[in-house]
Structure 1
Amino acid sequence: MKAIIVSSFGDEEVLKYQETETPTPAAGEVRVKIKAAGVNPVETYIRSGHYTALPALPYTPGNDGSGIVDAVGDGVEHLKKGDRVFVAAALARRNTGTYADYTVCDADAVRYLPQNLSFSEGAALGTPGLAATYALYSKAKIKPGETVFIHGASGGVGSLAVQLARRTGTFVMGTAGDPEGMTLIEKLGAHRAFNHRSPGYLEAVKQETGEHGPDVIIEMVANINLMKDLELLAKYGRVVIVGNHGTLEFDPRSAMTKDAVVMGMNIGNMPQEDYIANMYTLSAAMETGLHTIIGKELPLCQAEQAHRDVGEGKGGKVVLTVE
């Protein structure tokens, strides 16, 4: 089969499109004929060698994908050859990589892909979807009637969080950096959208809550927003840190005065029971209209360009398509 192989850590040029052996599923595993693979920022960090946990070389990148089940190992009962599926293998015990014609991973990491979604949409779901469900349900434990504020709601994780939070019966608000992003957030189900580049937008957010403040804040850039989040937050509120790009000076009194809880998260630490539950949540949501936003599609052989686009922060989810 053809796959992207990384034999040394470095810049985008280390992503080589070449022939390799087709993997065989063991007991409890599934082999999927990949039709599309999602590209995530973390994969660019790993490829460069600038990450806390690095795979043994050589390896094939990719945790997320979609395609058709090609073979199943012993003990797999919920999937069969020919099933249309998506793969979210970020927590799989074994994952041979989705930047390939075929991938093998734990059966728990594979779920049905509804007919109303394209393979590209399915490939874009895994890691962002797990991050969104982990933040909302495992960490914040959102409840119907609460107010949820999502910083960076037009991004991969944020756009899914908007849809999931709305489905849970919360009042949803989110931010984007331009009018197009604000329109997108509202189309996805947010009750209110704000431009985080506009002066005074946080005061407008607070006014929308009747000066109460949001019960839950999902934060994508904590080094910029965390202290402002704690000023905005309702008493007994929760802040979940999904992303961060630097350090900040933190005053514990900001949390103490609100009886606030600030939680970090890393989907790599997600307990197995949460992983399985969140996979079921994503599957059910997809069947009832949850969708991902695709920015660009490239053929698998152009993985180098895909990583370059992601590294430069070009808009939208990048997906690699496989013939």
Structure 2
Amino acid sequence: MARIVRFHEFGGAEVLRIEDMDIPAPRPGQVQIRVKALGINRAEALLRSGTYIETAPLPSGLGLEAAGIIEAVGQGVNGFAPGDAVSIIPPISMVRSPAYGELVTFPAGSIVRHPPALSWEEAAAVWMPYLTAYGALIDIARLSKGEFVAITAASSSVGLAAIQIANGIGATPIAITRTSSKRQALYEAGAAHVIASQEEDLEPRLKEITGHGGVRVVLDAVAGSIFEPLTAAMSSGGILIEYGGLSPQPTPFPLPAVLGRCLMLRGYLVHEIIRDPARLQAAKTFIFEGLASGTLKPVISRTFPFEQIVEAHRFLESNEQFGKIVVTV
């Protein structure tokens, strides 16, 4: 028996339940992990509330990130053995492969050894944010040295990963946050510039920072009313990569800016990196090198014990966090 987290109805954080369940032995090609820490993501709150891109059959497990020790391996698994310290690459479907539990089972291809210098909490906070930011900025946008990149929701784990990646390649990260409350923390996290979008006029501030040439790469998780000032401040041929939709407001299509400067508006899910073995391998190499050099280092906002999974989700939805929320098991 092992404790896992499931929900039997869609709703707020209170629908999450910790239940005791029998966990079958791993099948051929699978690895079973005794979990030490879980990373908490916005996608899990969306799945729980019934608004995610994947609809969960009830009851359902959830979870995209975990780190722990291999408990057992299935037939045909090579390169891993019981006792190895490993992390999970986020699955395409967290319904089929949920990570919230004391004992979880994943395909061997979704398992990586993490650098021994990382704590369990840090290891559980690596793959979703860094794969997401790498895929957007490096794989798709081809961000390069000397360029500006505008990053919304900058205090999120993905936003902070994007700031680190931009700095690591010599680009200039412009952090966009709602208010000034996190301004100093963003500077300390490596942002070259910080804009509080509810307190400053976003379009002229971006143009001022970039010398009126505009910003070529925008990484946005918000959408809504911020879309128009973002695109208005982009350079000719620029690319806006949309990977979320945090704003409850409608998102207007910025036709004048798109036509006038031949902009590309690109929807993006980290799944497209995870599904492609060659792109995933390139991403893992980049991230491992960054972790080893210290260029990339997960930022942990707060940790909760497993028994407080409901409180962890409530903190996630408070938007008070700066970095990753982690649950220890």
1:219 and 1:241 in contact (8 A); partners too: yes
Q: Distance in 1 between matches of 2:276 and 2:25?
A: 24
Q: Which residue of 2 aligns with 1:320?
A: 327
Match of 1:267 among 263, 270, 295: 270
2:48 is equivalent to residue 47 of structure 1:
yes
Following TM superposition, the consecutive aligned residue runs of length 4 or more in structure 1 with deviations greater than 6 angstroms are none
Q: 1:65–1:119: structure 2 CA closer, same or farther, 3 Å change rule?
A: same
Q: Distance in 2 between matches of 1:177 and 1:37?
A: 27
Q: Which residue of 1 aligns with 2:4?
A: 3
Q: 1:251–1:179: structure 2 CA closer, same or farther, 3 Å change rule?
A: closer
Q: Distance in 2 between matches of 1:201 and 1:249?
A: 16
Q: Deviations over 1:57-87 (max 9, x none)?
A: 3332211111112222344334332222221
Question: Which moved further from structure 2: 179-188 or 38-47?
Answer: 179-188
2:298 is equivalent to residue 292 of structure 1:
yes
Q: Deviations over 1:176-221 (max 9, x none)?
A: 3444523333333332233323323542332232221112111121
Alignment of 1:200-211 (within 5 A): 200-211=201-212
Q: 1:195–1:259: structure 2 CA closer, same or farther, 3 Å change rule?
A: same
Q: Which residue of 2 aligns with 1:182?
A: 183
Question: Letter of the aligned partner of 1:258 in structure 2?
Answer: R
- TM-score w.r.t. structure 1 length? 0.90
Q: Which residue of 2 aligns with 1:105?
A: 106
| Aligned-pair CA distance for 1:238 | 0.9
Q: 1:222–1:49: structure 2 CA closer, same or farther, 3 Å change rule?
A: closer
Question: Letter of the aligned partner of 1:312 in structure 2?
Answer: S
Q: Deviations over 1:11-34 (max 9, x none)?
A: 333322121112432333222110
Q: Distance in 2 between matches of 1:297 and 1:319?
A: 5
Q: Distance in 2 between matches of 1:255 and 1:105?
A: 42
Alignment of 1:217-256 (within 5 A): 217-244=218-245, 245=247, 246-256=249-259
2:160 is equivalent to residue 156 of structure 1:
no
Quote the sequence identity (%). Answer: 26
Question: Letter of the aligned partner of 1:284 in structure 2?
Answer: E
Question: Letter of the aligned partner of 1:298 in structure 2?
Answer: F
Q: Distance in 2 between matches of 1:77 and 1:91?
A: 22
| Aligned-pair CA distance for 1:109 | 2.2
| Aligned-pair CA distance for 1:92 | 6.1
Alignment of 1:122-137 (within 5 A): 122-137=123-138
Question: Letter of the aligned partner of 2:100 in structure 1?
Answer: Y
2:227 and 2:254 in contact (8 A); partners too: no
Question: Letter of the aligned partner of 1:14 in structure 2?
Answer: V
Q: 1:305–1:94: structure 2 CA closer, same or farther, 3 Å change rule?
A: closer
2:15 is equivalent to residue 14 of structure 1:
yes
| Aligned-pair CA distance for 1:51 | 2.9
1:25 and 1:104 in contact (8 A); partners too: yes
How large is the Cα RMSD of the aligned pairs?
Answer: 2.3
Question: Letter of the aligned partner of 1:267 in structure 2?
Answer: V
Question: Letter of the aligned partner of 1:275 in structure 2?
Answer: L
Question: Letter of the aligned partner of 1:125 in structure 2?
Answer: V
Q: Distance in 2 between matches of 1:10 and 1:196?
A: 30
1:85 and 1:110 in contact (8 A); partners too: yes
Q: Distance in 1 between matches of 2:251 and 2:179?
A: 25
Q: 1:117–1:88: structure 2 CA closer, same or farther, 3 Å change rule?
A: same
Aligned length: 322
2:313 is equivalent to residue 307 of structure 1:
yes
Q: Distance in 2 between matches of 1:13 and 1:207?
A: 45
Q: Distance in 2 between matches of 1:203 and 1:79?
A: 53
SS in 2 for 1:162: helix
Q: Deviations over 1:230-262 (max 9, x none)?
A: 211111111111222332332422112112111
- TM-score w.r.t. structure 2 length? 0.88
Q: Which residue of 1 aligns with 2:26?
A: 25
| Aligned-pair CA distance for 1:116 | 2.5
Question: Which moved further from structure 2: 99-108 or 124-133?
Answer: 124-133
Q: 1:178–1:52: structure 2 CA closer, same or farther, 3 Å change rule?
A: closer
Q: Distance in 2 between matches of 1:86 and 1:62?
A: 13
Q: Deviations over 1:77-131 (max 9, x none)?
A: 3433222222132326985422211111122322222232221122122322222
| Aligned-pair CA distance for 1:164 | 1.0
Q: 1:47–1:251: structure 2 CA closer, same or farther, 3 Å change rule?
A: closer
